[in-house]
Amino acid sequence: MTHNQLIKKTQNLKGVSISKIEENADGDTLYIHIKLHKRLRGICPHCHKHVPGYDSKTQERQWRALDMGTKKVILVSDVHRVKCPEHGVGTERLPGPGISPGSQKNSSNRWPASLFISLKNLSVSR
């Protein structure tokens, strides 16, 4: 398993490629730059349907993801705007557990359910 595969698995990132991983000067934060696969671009975050793009501009967005050990993890990606006939203009849906550039609040509510199941099984097996 490569580093990128390990990161994608622990962060539950599906349908993305990791283009770059950087560490800040203090060494306490990892910036993981991701790119959506083509088939997952242009999806409405509300109805999960492919919808037309609103404009051709993208904007780099950052949002907090599941910490890795003692390091904070920030996902970085260019995000397109889409125009859904039902939901209007918004940023395209990103894959992963609760990943949304708009949700930069406490990351504890975005941990993948599979992690909790794994921890539960771990405590049972002791």
Chain residues in the site for Zn ion (CB under 5 A): 44, 46-47, 84, 86-87
The distance of closest approach from Cβ of residue 45 to Zn ion in the complex, given in angstroms and rounded to an integer, is: 8
The distance of closest approach from Cβ of residue 119 to Zn ion in the complex, given in angstroms and rounded to an integer, is: 34
Distances from the Cα of 87 to the Cα of 6, 7, 42, 56, 80, angstroms = 35, 32, 13, 19, 15
Q: 9 or 46: whose CB is closer to Zn ion?
A: 46
Q: 36 or 44: whose CB is closer to Zn ion?
A: 44
Q: 5 or 102: whose CB is closer to Zn ion?
A: 102
The distance of closest approach from Cβ of residue 56 to Zn ion in the complex, given in angstroms and rounded to an integer, is: 20
For residue 75, what are the contacts with CB-CB under 8 A and spacing of at least 6?
11, 13, 32, 34, 62, 63, 64, 65, 99
Looking up tokens 């708009």 gives: 102
For residue 106, what are the contacts with CB-CB under 8 A and spacing of at least 6?
none
The distance of closest approach from Cβ of residue 60 to Zn ion in the complex, given in angstroms and rounded to an integer, is: 23
Q: 44 or 65: whose CB is closer to Zn ion?
A: 44
